[in-house]
Structure 1
Amino acid sequence: MRTGARLVTVLAVGAYTLDLYMFGDHLPATGESVDACDYATAHGGKAANVAVASARLGAPTRFVGCLGDDADGPAALAALRADGVEVGDCATADGVPTGRSFVYVDRHGRQIVMTWPGAANLLPVSRAAATAAGLPDGSVLVLQGEIPVATSSAAAAAAPPGARVVLNPSPPGPFLGDTGEELLGRADVLVLNEGELSALTTGATGARTGRAGPGRGSTAGLSPVELLRLGTRGRTVIVTCGERGAEITDDHGTTLVGAPRVDAVDTTGAGDAFTGALAAALRGGASLAQGVRLACRVAAVSVTRRFCAPSYPSASELGIAPLRGPSERGRPG
């Protein structure tokens, strides 16, 4: 946002992908061909989803990613703008299509996803870093693992100390190496699900977190969450637990925040809905517990509808005031 670059904002840096959905009675097993009962396309990508979830709650929100030079790129930007997301710093990759995600959903709302990043992986590191560097105090920078970790790490490193870094290490694979370790260490808040927590606290990651503490022996007896906290700046880890809600672990201990009971139709993108709502709430001045409580509500609504971004509720739908929060800290005179 060139004219409002000092606005306290939620900045989501990462991927946009076009989601291609197949809906069927059950998910295919290895070697099995399953007939789909419905097919659809929708806007997606973890960072783009986060941005939509945040903007629909009224928070000033920006998305920075790379789109292809095909027809899907301009369509994606138009859709994000329609949801109130600022996209002026996005890049376009010449000769490379916009990314794709292939999503298969069964009658219980369970899903499997495969993603081809396409142009999403080509966001210039310098652009990600420069955009993050311009954030004023009170802003929230949201990062994930769908684009190269080096790009996200550069954005986190460039963000000023007064901006909070919320990291969803998903997919977890990129965070098992040195660059991923560096990015985890720059996070103020980690948001991940139980499977991602397991992946990040076993094998190579277990050795990494052992090195991050005062000594390898000091990690004996620690829970997976405590092991992960050793390598983070903010020492706050939020684990989403599906229909059970989410657990917050910080220096005060662990707190479970329950989720509303709903009948799930499509769980795709629920984690992104949670992260976007949490970022919007934190940007608006909410406490961590308040933010997680709202995020659980938003994620619960999202699973009762099909698709990712199109399923996310607005503030008015939830019966709350738009999360505009503090207006403009650090506004130029």
Structure 2
Amino acid sequence: MHLVAVGDNITDCYPEQGVMFPGGNCVNVAVHSARAGAPTSYVGAVGTDERGTLLRDELTAESVDVSRLRTLPGETGYATVFHVDGDRHFGPFDRGVAEITLSEEDLRFIATHRIAHSSTAAQLTSQVPELAARVPVSFDFDVHTADAYCQDLIGSVTHAFFSASHLSESEALDLLAWACDRGASTALATRGSSGAVFSDGRTVLRQPAVASRVEDTLGAGDAFIGVVLAGLIRERPADEFLADAARASAAVCERFGAFGPARALPAALHFPRPSVHVS
């Protein structure tokens, strides 16, 4: 296998639509990398409930190796997604059994891959140096941008990803330079409708966003990351995989959920609608 995604999974629940989808940064990245041609594995944990079965089934359907996906007593995590005045907001959430400690057997399995991807949501930051000792690490820092959290981890990261819609282009470029100066081989900042910027420490590329009929932006950045990682693994030209990543990201925006068919939300799950002040 080429890519292994490690940690974080969730079930994205849409109470207003009465449906749910498999998700979580690491799960989404694994799926979109597999779709882009990189054989992919996932290491994590789900519960013994219907949502755990959903995650396992949909990863299998996407040709992601789930041989190290463990089932633990308890519930699979969930996040609730609402739309208020056209904007996406997150309501109640629970990570369930997803927060795990990687075993030595997990680490040996991970070491058979070319890249291991994880994220802030995976809650595995203390084990990132252990991962990096065995395999190049890809890490999604989300909105953390050169803060103390980044500074503690960047030395263990080969491929750094940032959500930088809150930054100007010049600030995003400074962030990429900062990451590469501290050892990252590549760095990418996604900037929503402003596109993305990518650097390998020598060359900077700008990728415009692809126009789409936006229904829901959930998972769009994860799709971008997955396609970029597949491109790096397959040693494709950066301008080509960035264009493909932008198209994949735009496609995700045109539907609810990050991937997979909608499943009916279990009747036992009831979530209050958040106020417009929820972020």
Superposition TM-score, scaled by structure 1 size: 0.69
Task: Decide which structure has greater strand share.
Answer: 2
- 1:206 maps to which residue? none
- Does the Cα contact within 8 Å between 2:176 and 2:198 map onto a contact in 1? no
Q: Could you tell me which runs of 5 or more consecutive residues in structure 2 were left unpaired when the two chains were aligned.
A: 262-279
- 1:20 maps to which residue? 13
Deviation for aligned residue 1:253: 4.2
Report the secondary structure of 2:215's partner residue. coil
Specify which of 159, 162, 172 is matched with residue 189 of structure 1.
Answer: 159
Opposite residue 156 of structure 2, the aligned amino acid is R
* Distance (whole Å) between structure 1 residues aligned to residue 47 and residue 129 of structure 2: 23
Report the secondary structure of 1:259's partner residue. coil
* Distance (whole Å) between structure 1 residues aligned to residue 105 and residue 259 of structure 2: 25
Deviation for aligned residue 1:300: 0.9
Greater CA radius of gyration, 1 or 2? 1
2:97 is equivalent to residue 119 of structure 1: yes
* Distance (whole Å) between structure 1 residues aligned to residue 126 and residue 46 of structure 2: 18
Report the secondary structure of 1:297's partner residue. helix
- Does the Cα contact within 8 Å between 1:145 and 1:170 map onto a contact in 2? yes
Deviation for aligned residue 1:230: 3.1
2:166 is equivalent to residue 166 of structure 1: no
* Distance (whole Å) between structure 2 residues aligned to residue 145 and residue 153 of structure 1: 14
Structure 1 vs Structure 2 CA RMSD? 2.6
2:120 is equivalent to residue 145 of structure 1: yes
Question: Which runs of structure 2 are paired with 1:282-293 in the superposition (5 Å)?
Answer: 282-293=232-243
Report the secondary structure of 1:117's partner residue. strand
Deviation for aligned residue 1:223: 3.0
Specify which of 82, 95, 99 is matched with residue 104 of structure 1.
Answer: 82
* Distance (whole Å) between structure 2 residues aligned to residue 146 and residue 194 of structure 1: 17
- Does the Cα contact within 8 Å between 1:146 and 1:171 map onto a contact in 2? no
Report the secondary structure of 2:18's partner residue. strand
Matched pairs, number: 255
Q: Which runs of 4+ in 1 moved over 6 A?
A: none
* Distance (whole Å) between structure 1 residues aligned to residue 94 and residue 69 of structure 2: 19
- 2:176 maps to which residue? 225
- Does the Cα contact within 8 Å between 2:32 and 2:226 map onto a contact in 1? yes
Change (3 A) 1:121 1:153: farther
* Distance (whole Å) between structure 1 residues aligned to residue 244 and residue 106 of structure 2: 28
2:39 is equivalent to residue 60 of structure 1: yes
- 1:280 maps to which residue? 230
- Does the Cα contact within 8 Å between 2:180 and 2:201 map onto a contact in 1? no
Deviation string 1:104-144 (CA, Å, 9 cap, x unpaired) is 23464x32235421111124343442222222xxx232221
* Distance (whole Å) between structure 1 residues aligned to residue 103 and residue 121 of structure 2: 14
* Distance (whole Å) between structure 1 residues aligned to residue 33 and residue 49 of structure 2: 27
Specify which of 214, 232, 251 is matched with residue 264 of structure 1.
Answer: 214
* Distance (whole Å) between structure 2 residues aligned to residue 233 and residue 223 of structure 1: 14
Report the secondary structure of 2:121's partner residue. coil
Q: Could you tell me which runs of 5 or more consecutive residues in structure 1 were left unpaired when the two chains were aligned.
A: 1-6, 23-35, 202-221, 312-333
Opposite residue 131 of structure 2, the aligned amino acid is A
Deviation for aligned residue 1:57: 2.7
Deviation for aligned residue 1:246: 0.9
- Does the Cα contact within 8 Å between 1:281 and 1:291 map onto a contact in 2? yes
Opposite residue 130 of structure 2, the aligned amino acid is A
Opposite residue 112 of structure 1, the aligned amino acid is H
Change (3 A) 1:193 1:19: same
Change (3 A) 1:155 1:128: farther
Change (3 A) 1:43 1:107: farther
Superposition TM-score, scaled by structure 2 size: 0.81
- Does the Cα contact within 8 Å between 1:65 and 1:123 map onto a contact in 2? no
- 1:130 maps to which residue? 108
Report the secondary structure of 2:54's partner residue. helix
Specify which of 242, 245, 258 is matched with residue 195 of structure 2.
Answer: 245
